[in-house]
Amino acid sequence: MAKYTVTRACGHQERVDLIGPHRKREYALEQMEGSDCYACVEEKRQKENEENAAAARAAGWPTLTGSERQMAWAETLRAAAVAKTRDSAAWWPEKYPELEENPAGIIEAALLAQTSAAWWIDNRGGEIAGAVTVAAADVARALGLLQLLQREDLGPHILVRPTINLPRPDAYPLTPMVRAAVCSCGWQPYPQKNAALAGRDHIEGLAAEELEAVRRAHPQDVPHACTEELGLRRCLMRPFLRQ
Ligand SMILES: [Zn+2]
Ligand SMILES: [Zn+2]
Ligand SMILES: [Zn+2]
């Protein structure tokens, strides 16, 4: 073990004990010399949080709730996510040339509706995915993915599960897309992972006559509107109708 005095990038000096092979110690010292000390990093972070909180107040964004520490951090996460959402406005029409409305505004509103600091911290790195999950039906509609719901010949409940792709920076780490589930009756699952199971619960929970009407519109053993007119390989409602 050896003691060293290191001058950090911020100019502050620190005494450190280092162990291990010479090369490893050299590397650790270089890392330390190239970065600010803990107190300076904390101070910078705090200042950034305060600036973001002031900007949020000036913009009239809702007040966050949570512990003081959580709220301070969430202000910075929120500011970055909203900036990222605004930056992504040009990406959507490129990816979805048929869109009816740019979803960036819907996503921003869904982000700003999240006032719990814990939400921001839990969703960090995937804030846009989180907001799209919350507002999945509205985003899918804006992207022109819900046109099927307008068809009356498909029975009283048409359930679709559009896949919403996300702009690159937020396509991290495991959620490059959000899978929505929306029914023509207005039902949509509470934001959750398994939209398919929720959809099946919705259809199976219908009153007997309604379920019968759905089955009549989608006879699984013969060609019907789904397979004939829409040209789908399989009936739209098949995943939700247990035989
Ligand atoms: Zn320092
Ligand atoms: Zn329905
Ligand atoms: Zn069908």
Q: Using one digit for the tens of pLDDT, what is the confidence trace for 101-151?
A: 999 999 999 999 999 999 999 999 889 999 999 999 999 999 999 988 988
> Which pTM was predicted?
0.83
Distances (CA, A) of 146 to 136, 184, 211: 11, 9, 22
Rounded to an integer, what distance in angstroms lies between the CA atom of residue 22 and that of residue 79?
A: 43
Ligand 2 centroid vs 176 CA: distance in angstroms?
27
Ligand 2 centroid vs 10 CA: distance in angstroms?
60
Ligand 3 centroid vs 145 CA: distance in angstroms?
18
Closest CA to 18 of 28, 8, 9: 28
Which stretches of the chain score pLDDT less than 50?
Answer: none
Ligand 1 centroid vs 24 CA: distance in angstroms?
23
**Domains of the chain: which residue ranges?**
37-240
The pLDDT score that the predictor gives to residue 241 is 86
Ligand 3 centroid vs 181 CA: distance in angstroms?
16
Residue 236: how many other CB atoms lie within 10 Å? 22
The pLDDT score that the predictor gives to residue 173 is 57
Q: Can you count the helices (H) and strands (E) in the chain?
A: 11, 6
Are 108 and 135 in contact by the 8 Å Cβ rule? The answer is no
Ligand 3 centroid vs 218 CA: distance in angstroms?
4
